[in-house]
Copies of this chain bind each other. A is one copy, B any other.
Amino acid sequence: MLYKESHILILNNVSKFIDLTELEKQKYLSLLTKISIKRKSFLMQAGDITSYEYFITKGCLKVYTLDDDGAPHISMFAVEDYWTGDMASFMTKEPTRYFIKATEDSELLGISRANYELLFQEIPKFERFYRMLYQKSLISYIRRSNHGISLTAEERYIEFKTKYPNIVNRITQKDLAGYIGITPEFMSKIITKVNRR
């Protein structure tokens, strides 16, 4: 069977953890919705109740909250082969506190809450897939939550650059500051300092 490029990407992602038969692949793909989104538009805004989780097949999006002073705090950049969304709102049906905005024209595959539940009934192997996906994410978020309180801003910047060299060049310095957790002004100083070496 010949698949579209975006479908190949998501099937490869799934195959990192579980094997699917041709029939299961087709069933799985039938539960997904293709979404195109223009640069600068929103996939989600604070207050929304989100009914989808998303897999990025093309582009880049930023996931962030706004604090009381209106300053953005970026929790992740989602690029090709990443999953994103607000799991808390997806699970509890409570309004999200997140904004998700495309920083490039992007293409996603979404799975709705209903289809997510259906998926486990139809192909129980997906419990394993998500168990392993969440386990892996958990390891990196535990790491990140420790680094947020134990590393200096400069150390966090160097870590980000090393870990995601491909993402650094696709985002603005201002957004990077929002991810590292500092002001754009101080981000500018750090970058000047680190590059001077």
Expressed in whole angstroms, the minimum distance between the Cβ of A82 and any Cβ of chain B is 14
Interface bin, chain A: 20 to 34
Chain B residues lying within 8 Å of A138, measured Cβ to Cβ, are 87, 134, 137-138, 141
Main secondary structure of the interface of A (DSSP, over half): helix
- B181 and A150 contacting across the interface, CB-CB below 8 Å: yes
Chain B residues lying within 8 Å of A139, measured Cβ to Cβ, are 87-88, 91
Chain B residues lying within 8 Å of A146, measured Cβ to Cβ, are 65, 73, 75
Complex CA–CA separation, A144 to B146 (angstroms): 9
Q: Which of A43-93 contact B (CB under 8 A)?
A: 65, 67, 73, 75, 87-88, 91
- Binary per-residue interface labels of chain A (14-37) against chain B in the complex, 1 for a CB within 8 Å, 0 otherwise: 000000000000000000000000
Task: Tell me, yes or no, whether A194 is within 8 Å of chain B by CB.
Answer: no
- Binary per-residue interface labels of chain A (115-151) against chain B in the complex, 1 for a CB within 8 Å, 0 otherwise: 0000010001001101100110111011111111110
Task: Tell me, yes or no, whether A180 is within 8 Å of chain B by CB.
Answer: yes
Complex CA–CA separation, A2 to B120 (angstroms): 33
Expressed in whole angstroms, the minimum distance between the Cβ of A52 and any Cβ of chain B is 16
Closest to A137 in B: B138
Complex CA–CA separation, A180 to B149 (angstroms): 7
What are the 6 tightest A-B residue pairs by CB atom distance, in nearest-first order? Answer: A149-B181, A148-B148, A145-B145, A134-B134, A127-B127, A131-B131
